Amino acid sequence: MAVREVLVYPDPRLKEMAEDVTEIDDYVRKVIADLTDTMEASGHSTGIAATQIGENIRVVVADASKNAKCENHHGRLVLINPEIIKWEGMISFREGCMSVPDYTGNVNRAKKILLRYHDENFEQKVIEAEDFEAVLLQHETDHLEGTLFLDRVISKRTDLFRRKKFK
């Protein structure tokens, strides 16, 4: 469909809570297509939430397989109204975000999660994810709550890093 502009912090729309999707219509299908196109066009992104392109609905597209170090994953996922229903363990992970392009940061996340969501056919599903994929899904679900990884950085003084710029 279209590659969309990604909102960048401190855009206030990134802090808004997204609305539940109640049905799959042309608007939701277009948002899913635009999210997919925008994620693919970035060349490096493994996930994106609708709120990051200014659409205030609970939709995420994620693909942990795009991370070469991620061995266990579910491939490309379209998550509508995702909800983490169980989590266990703890992992510290260095996160980055298209909406915070100049920084990365160390964040504590659940090592393993159980996630309930609807797919693009609005069928309810539950998956278990761990390690990188679990972190990715928690990061993207946070966007729908108006939470950025910056809000979860362990210590803003010692665990927030400026990204290196390569020429």
Domain carrying residue 41: 12-162
pLDDT digits (tens, 9 = 90+) for 103-154: 999 999 999 999 999 999 999 999 999 999 999 999 999 999 999 999 999 9
In a domain, 1, yes or no: no
Q: How many domains does the chain have?
A: 1
In a domain, 26, yes or no: yes
Calculate ∠ Cα 104-108-112, nearest 5°. Answer: 120
Residue with token string 């970035």? 42
CATH number, position 146: 3.90.45.10
In a domain, 120, yes or no: yes
Predicted pLDDT of residue 166: 59
- Known catalytic residues? 140
